[in-house]
Structure 1
């Protein structure tokens, strides 16, 4: 861009971000992304690209992989007729994840994802299981949680509530949990008390 005096002026950072976001949401991450091979952990998470919704066209949904120290590895756009789950393996396929711990949110707590991480990528996983997941959740009720001696209590008061979390860790090999390569389970029940008096 040339200014009024004929001097070339570089576009602002906001202009560069806006143009790249309009042309290819997530594309900058693939141009500048870094290999996660030297990282201890990689987090996989999806999000809608801010400002990418136009009229009846929905916002671009991106699936990102980031290292534990905040480096973006890759962030491709999830194709319109698919979802994060179907893109998980392709997202991580190009990278050496040997010895890396890969985290993801509850929708990725699937047997095929666990097998892929351990058997094909030689990685480790802690995956989240929520109450509404019919697959692994019922099996996690059976272990003897009340007998667990490895516990941690966390208490905090904020936003007019007192919250207590009790973290229990249990080795589950030999307990019959039907989930590939699962060795330990962590249970974190939360108890909330409303302090507002309402």
Structure 2
């Protein structure tokens, strides 16, 4: 369907049409289960819903998510689609180890695409990257995520920047599946690149607002030379009868 690697997430979902009208459960069902069929006990979507519910209630670690899962009542597990065991229909919650393993295997790009907001109708979309807090593990560096958000704070999608590159190589892959016609895309000075501008204007039919700093010395110098402090504001007047075309 989409990006299958947790560390290299550059291939976006080819088709997202119709996703906006689906519920969260229906969206998650479109995400491929990365596990092998043999030995699977807990439904893939149920594990994701349990983890998401735990995070919404305040869980900030896999241990906390596992504790929430173990303490969840039967009616909650039933609504989340947890595994049924025995003739009495007892719901069994996934363990912390199972949740960690499933989330680690799930395609992060596909998950972000399917649960993100459609930018259609928005005035602006902001693109920015940040290192994920708490994602550093041993000698492995922190995960650097590049995300797109609408002007009213809704997350459109995100992807993980590969460790041996930077945000520039991921910029065009991030919004590629979405219709950005007429939307203003904003980003910091790192993305003030000719290729990015061409992609936004020629392919996405979008507008752009990019910062210019000293990393673009020639462009920065030319912009600073403009008379910013003495702009001339004019107001168009109606044409007179003599000026109107016959």
For this structure pair, what is the TM-score category when the shorter chain's length is used for normalisation? Answer: 0.5 to 0.7
**Who is 1:146 aligned against?**
229
CA distance in 2, matches of 1:24, 1:61: 17
Find the counterpart in structure 2 of residue 115 from structure 1: 198
Select the structure with the greater relative contact order (CA < 8 A; seq sep ≥ 6): 2
Rounded to whole Å, the distance in 2 between the matches of 1:38 and 1:97 is 9
Residues 103 and 2 (structure 1), Cα distance of their counterparts in 2 relative to 1, 3 Å cut:
closer
- 1:102 maps to 2:185: yes
| Stretch deviating more after TM superposition (79-88 or 125-134) | 125-134
Q: Label 1:9 to 1:89 Cα distance change in 2 as closer, same or farther (>3 A).
A: same
Q: Tell me: CA distance 1:19–1:130, structure 2 relative to 1, closer, same or farther (3 Å).
A: farther
Relative to structure 1, the CA distance from residue 44 to residue 87 in structure 2 (aligned partners, 3 Å threshold; closer, same or farther) is: same
* Alignment partner of 1:134 is 2:231: no
Between Structure 1 and Structure 2, which shows a larger proportion of strand residues? 1
The structure whose Rg is larger is 2
1:10-60 CA-partner distances (Å, limit 9, x unpaired): 68xxxx7x7777556955433311221221110000011112110000011
1:94-126 CA deviation, whole Å, 9 max, x = no partner?
Answer: 110000010001100112211111111110111
- Output the TM-score relative to the length of structure 2: 0.51
Q: Which runs of 5+ in 1 are unaligned?
A: 151-198
User: Residue 130 of structure 2 corresponds to which residue in structure 1?
Assistant: 47
**Structure 1 moving runs of 4+ over 3 Å:** 1-11, 18-28
| Structure 2: stretches of 5+ with no match in the other structure | 1-68, 75-84, 234-246
- Structure-1-length-normalised TM-score: 0.63
Distance 1:42 1:138, change over 3 A: same
Superposition RMSD in Å? 3.2
| SS at 2:135 equivalent | coil
